[in-house]
Chain A
Amino acid sequence: MRLAPLIAIEIAAFLLIIGETYFFFIIVVPLGPIPHSLGEYTGYALLKVALTVGLGVLWFLVMIGMTRAYVRSKLRSPTPTPSS
């Protein structure tokens, strides 16, 4: 039971990695038609960078959110101290 919340975090990380890697290689990398001008090229490049950063931020926020919720729940319960 001690590991159940950490396993839940692990499974969430697993699902996000699979989903986000697929999204990155299938959607983000080949995004847009063949650019015809420098402006169009720059626009698509910036969109790809923004989407990539967005995927990273999403993973970061979900992981931090789940971990903070776990830490808060543990700190609320009585903390064991060394018997001495």
Chain B
Amino acid sequence: MVTGFEAGLLALSFLVPFLLLVFGFPPYLRLLTRLGRVSEDVHKTPTTKVPEPAGPMLFAGALAGEFLVAVGLNSWVPIAIMLGAGVAFVVGLWDDLYVLGGKTKPLLLLLAGLVFVGFILFKPNLYDPVLSFPILGDTSAHFTIYTVLAVVAFPVVANAFNMMDAFNGEISWFTLLTSIALLVGVTLHDVTTAGFSLARVGATLPLVAVAGAFLLFNRFPAKAFDGDSGSLMFGGMFAGLAITGGVEIAAMIAILPAILNSFYTLSSVRGFVERRRMPSRPTYIGKDGLLYASSEAEAPTTIVRLVLLGGPLSEKDLVKNIIALTGVAVLLSMVISVLTWVF
């Protein structure tokens, strides 16, 4: 049973990062504009300038929420999550400021997984090396293979989030919906498993709060871009929360559109290629202002290009389609969570 103190703390772990971002973003975005840190919104005609990167503000918000959970519930779980997400954030910020190569970024992101997994030398009960399947139950413990997969999960998930960051509101909607699926899974795990720490539920709330607050500034027409520092941090946090929450399967299902998008992109351009160095773009803007699927053979295949093969769309409608695909994946993920933890 959750005590009044714990319920209050859970509420604060959502409200503090949410309000911090809602009130902190306007002055931060004015500062970015004053410093000349703006990027062209290439999907508008004429193009507009949008402050970037919002990643540092997002990281600050997440850090505040996780700090509350760590101190209030006396848990090391939020610390481990923010260590992994922190490395992903630093790699992203480096990319925002100096641009990293297509292969350097995933290699550096392995450090996020290594730091996270290395933390279990300090706190051995950080995660359980088993996977829980719906109806069929748990696998036996496989520490070595699970740990290797946990390390690899960080670059894979962080890059998958990064590749879902192309249009106004896309990354914020995607992170918000998938983090809600994660919250449902971790909460059901907590409610149905004796001795499962409430801190794992609390650690999920700052991600929901940060994504929700960012959506207010990132939705069409965007007033802020997160940059790689924001999207990689979202991915790093998501991976850490899925592993510590023991909801790896449900989490993997929730981000299926991003996994498919990465798979299509990597298989069509045959490897890790930095997006600014790709030979051509997957979409283009017609003179009517609508987005079209590129018909160039060397253009990368992305989930957006596949959606646009059905006909041109405005940026706003395109993002609605991506949200719908994410919604289906989130529903499947919630079904998996219910089948795993309730039945």
Contacts and interface: CB of A to CB of B under 8 A. Distances in A.
A58 interface: no
Interface in A65-84: 67, 70-71, 74-75, 79-84
A80 to B, nearest CB: 5
A71 B309 contact: yes
B139 A3 contact: no
Contact of A3 (B264, B307, B336): B307
Given A83-B288, A84-B286, A9 B321 contact: no
A18 B288 contact: no
Contacts of A10: 256-257, 260, 325, 328-329, 332
A76 to B, nearest CB: 11
Contact of B311 (A7, A11, A25, A80): A80
Contacts of B332: 10-11, 14
Interface in A1-24: 2-3, 6-7, 9-11, 13-14, 17-18, 21-22
Nearest to A25: B139
Nearest to B138: A25
What class of interface size applies to chain A in its complex with B?
A: 20 to 34
A74 B309 contact: yes
A2 B328 contact: no
A33 B47 CA distance: 64
A6 B259 CA distance: 13
A67 B263 CA distance: 11
A25 to B, nearest CB: 4
Contacts of A71: 301, 306, 309
A67 B306 CA distance: 9
Interface string B303-342: 1001101111000000001001100110010001000000
Given A17-B253, A79-B295, A3 B145 contact: no
A21 B142 contact: no
Contact of B256 (A14, A22, A25, A60): A14
A34 interface: no
Nearest to B336: A18
B157 to A, nearest CB: 14
Nearest to B139: A25
B133 A9 contact: no
Contact of B249 (A6, A11, A18, A64): A18
A16 to B, nearest CB: 11
Contacts of B290: 82
A6 B303 contact: yes
Contacts of B267: 60, 64
Given A14-B256, A74-B309, A22 B136 contact: yes
A47 B295 CA distance: 42
B287 A29 contact: no
A38 interface: no
Q: Which of B145, B295, B310, B329 has the most CB of A within 10 A?
A: B310
Nearest to B145: A29
A39 interface: no
Given A10-B329, A14-B332, A71-B309, A3 B253 contact: no
A18 B88 CA distance: 27
B292 interface: yes
A29 B139 CA distance: 10
Contacts of B307: 2-3, 6
Nearest to B263: A63
Interface of A: 2-3, 6-7, 9-11, 13-14, 17-18, 21-22, 25-26, 29-30, 60, 63-64, 67, 70-71, 74-75, 79-84
11 contacts: A3-B321, A9-B260, A10-B332, A13-B259, A25-B142, A26-B136, A26-B139, A29-B139, A84-B286, A84-B287, A84-B288
4 nearest A-B pairs in the assembled complex, by CB-CB distance: A82-B286, A84-B287, A74-B309, A25-B139
Given A11-B328, A14-B332, 9 more contacts: A17-B256, A21-B133, A22-B136, A25-B139, A29-B145, A71-B301, A74-B310, A80-B292, A83-B286
